[in-house]
Structure 1
Amino acid sequence: MVQVDTLPPLIRSEAQKTHLLIRDFIKRTPILTCTTLSALASTPQSAEALARTEWIGRDPARPKINLFFKCENLQTIGAFKLRGATSFLQRLGDEELAKGVVTHSSGNHAAALALAAKRRGAPAYIVMPRISMPNKIAATRSHGAEIVFSGSTAPEREAVAAEVMARTGATMVPPYDHPYIILGQGTLALEVEEQVGLMLDAGSGGKLDAVVAPLGGGGMLSGIATALSGTGIRVFGAEPSFQGGDDGRRGLAADPPERVTEVKTLTIADGLRTPVGVYPWSVISDREKVGGVFAVTEGQILAAMRLVLERMKVVIEPSSAVPLAVVLFNEDFRRRVEQEGGEQGWNICVVFSGGNTTVEAIGKLFAKEENEDER
């Protein structure tokens, strides 16, 4: 087992060391731009649009925004999760690798850990709910993992994972609540810092002002905040508001701030249906590292996803669309950009966290939206 007293601190230099450790096993995913989306983000929302929100009757914000997109949807296995899984596996010794690794996940972490284990020659035991999407089960199995099915609740998944650990001696690799995972996910921010910096140097100049990323368990957001700490680049989180999916935002808004430990939401952003973990919360609740967390509705997430599909010709999953939805539709965030960015505005990088969806799933999402609009 990994000893707690040997875990690295969550600081920028450790993220840099982690990048050196894993860079040969991950893709350096590209940064894309879209003039149309930057123009839309810089256009005030209409009174009609605001009339359907909590900002009804207010003058719309008028930010100036130049957008960049970090495409982790083009990462191997189709999501950023490979970074954290590889970071963890690269730190295990031969004896631990021989016994294998185990996790419980219905999504991208499952496939990421399966591939990372395969590359290290380690057995992988993945506990997946029986209701997991067939394409994600197939992806995980394709990397040679042994899938063990469970019920869909967290206690059911954890109980089966504990049984596997007792039977095999495998090491638990959590999806987000561990320094190795956090530092691994944070490596994407180091690439963003360099890539966007080079693009700005070659173009209009300026600097990267902010990164906006999805917030679920918090491994990626806390990793980004750790990697960019001290650089002057602001970091913000984005969550769905549906059925209390904005636990990070609510926890920060409490007096004093307090981590929300339970979330029950069926938001379409299925990768964000989990409460923020203990380690991630220690970073996210630090106002010097994370400037705030903002939430958006299901309709706004779908609208952002449609824009990416139609204007950028890029396939992303709903969770990936949440940060763009914040930039386009959350008036609190947009007002902050207007006030702090002034006439010059902000250069903002939005993280596309993954693209693991299907044509059928996308079709159902938009068909449901159209049917609701007709009613």
Structure 2
Amino acid sequence: MTDITRIEAAAARMAGHIRRTPLLSSPFVDALAGRRVLVKAECLQHTGSFKARGGWSALSALPPEARARGVIAYSSGNHAQGVAAAARAFEAPAVIVMPADAPRLKIDNTRTLGAEVVLYDRATEDRDAIGAALAAERGLTLIRPYDEVEVIAGQGTCGLEIAEQALEAGVTQADVLTCCGGGGLTAGVALALEARAPGLRARPAEPAGFDDTARSLAAGSIQRNASLSGSICDAIVTPEPGTLTFPILQRLCGPGLVVSDDEAMRAMAVAFARLKIVLEPGGAVALAAALFRREEIEGDAVICIASGGNVDGAMFCEALARFGTGD
């Protein structure tokens, strides 16, 4: 299982390859949220999201002979790019199974990074089955997007940085909001905080209608989403929490937070106008929760992870046109 020792080992392997992203703030954002807000800008990470951490962690942990045979992953785009970028750095073949309705930018970026892209219909086809079949056929190592020990460890390095940066900022007690799909980032961050900043508590944020983690935490057992598509937050639309991640979330996380697609788009506008960063909808839900669920958050400060910035131009323009500065 993933633990702090494995997270620290992943951090050591990442040295010189993964960015230490900044913790941003703005008095305008603080005023809108009604408390101090610190934003971990993972949208500035290599490939535009925290998924570069998990991709590098997983590839760097493989035996050289397995890397040489190649890897396979399934993803709507951010894990795809993280694995593809790491595979290119290690000169390893990569096959990525992606939903056909994923943003064109993410599909194109994954191909540009040198991966073979296999498209599927997420409403009628099972990506797990496709990935498993291709892995067996070609002798590839499957790197799952969240239910993977080394991927969770890689995402946990973001939590190590938050622990250090929050202390530097004088924040020792706060909720740390994460954009949550299958729970890899949330689980990794929660484990890192438990060991390095116990006054900080991870809390998952999700889009309405795809709040399987929030419902699972409330119910005490894994709950599945009724639909696999229908939100603009494509990066975090997953069927249910992972079997590896959920026990970690259940033990360490606070209650889940849920925001609407419109609130995610409004948070995109706020991030651009006030923090000067570009976010995709799924990467903005934690900030949206900090801004628009203030009554569900305690304390004088909140930390949120801006987890991805791979947004199509049309979607980004729509957010700015509809919400301006977001205030």
Q: TM-score, normalised by structure 2?
A: 0.91
Answering whether residue 188 of structure 2 is matched by residue 234 of structure 1, we say no
The equivalent of 2:286 in structure 1 is 323
1:24 is paired with a residue of what secondary structure?
A: coil
State the one-letter code of the partner of 1:333: E
Secondary structure at the aligned position of 1:234 is classed as strand
- Tell me if structure 2 keeps the 8 A contact 1:12–1:228: no
**Which one has a bigger Cα radius of gyration?**
1
Deviation at 1:366, TM superposition (A): 5.9
2:20 maps to which of 28, 32, 40: 28
Aligned to 1:56: none
The alpha carbon displacement at 1:212 in A equals 0.9
| Aligned-pair identity (%) | 35
**What CA RMSD, in Å, does the superposition of the two structures yield over aligned residues?**
1.9
Write the distance in 1 (CA, Å) between the matches of 2:107 and 2:135. Answer: 21
Measure how far apart 1:131 and its partner are: 2.9
**Shift in Å, 1:23:** 2.5
Q: CA deviation at 1:332?
A: 4.4
Alpha-carbon spacing, 1:130–1:268, altered in 2? closer, same or farther (3 Å): closer
In 2, distance between residues paired with 1:154 and 1:250? 24
Q: Which runs of 5+ in 2 are unaligned?
A: none
* Residue 3 of structure 1: aligned partner: none
- What's the counterpart of residue 221 of structure 2? 258
1:314 equivalent in alignment to 2:277: yes
Q: Which moved further from structure 2: 16-25 or 148-157?
A: 148-157
- Residue 175 of structure 1: aligned partner: 145
Matches within 5 A, 1:56-135: 65-135=35-105
* Secondary structure of the corresponding residue to residue 169 of structure 2: helix
| Structure-2 separation of matches of 1:239 and 1:128 | 21
1:208 deviates by 4.8
Q: Within the alignment, does 1:268 sit opposite 2:235 as a pair?
A: no
Structure 1 residue 107: Cα displacement: 1.0
Q: Deviations over 1:21-49 (max 9, x none)?
A: 2232211111111111112211xxxxxxx
Code of the residue aligned with 1:17 in structure 2: it is A
Instruction: State the match for 2:259 in structure 1.
Output: 296
Q: Which stretch shifts more, 277-286 or 163-172?
A: 163-172
Report if the CA contact (8 A) 2:102-2:234 is conserved.
no
What SS does structure 2 have at the residue aligned with 1:69? strand
Number of matched residues?
A: 319
Identify which of 110, 135, 146 aligns with 1:140: 110
Contact 1:87 1:181 in 2 (8 A): yes
Alignment partners' CA distance in 2, 1:154 and 1:26: 36
The equivalent residue for 1:48 is none
Q: Secondary structure at the match of 2:264?
A: helix
* 1:363 is aligned to 2:317: yes
Normalization by structure 1: what TM-score?
Answer: 0.80
Does 2:177 match 1:212?
yes
Tell me whether 1:354 sits opposite 2:316 in the alignment.
no
Deviation at 1:235, TM superposition (A): 1.4
Q: Deviation per CA, 1:6-30: give whole Å up to 9, x if none.
A: xxx3322322222112232211111
Please give the secondary structure, in 2, of the residue aligned with 1:127.
strand
Is 1:225 the equivalent of 2:190?
Answer: yes
Local SS of the residue matching 2:213: helix
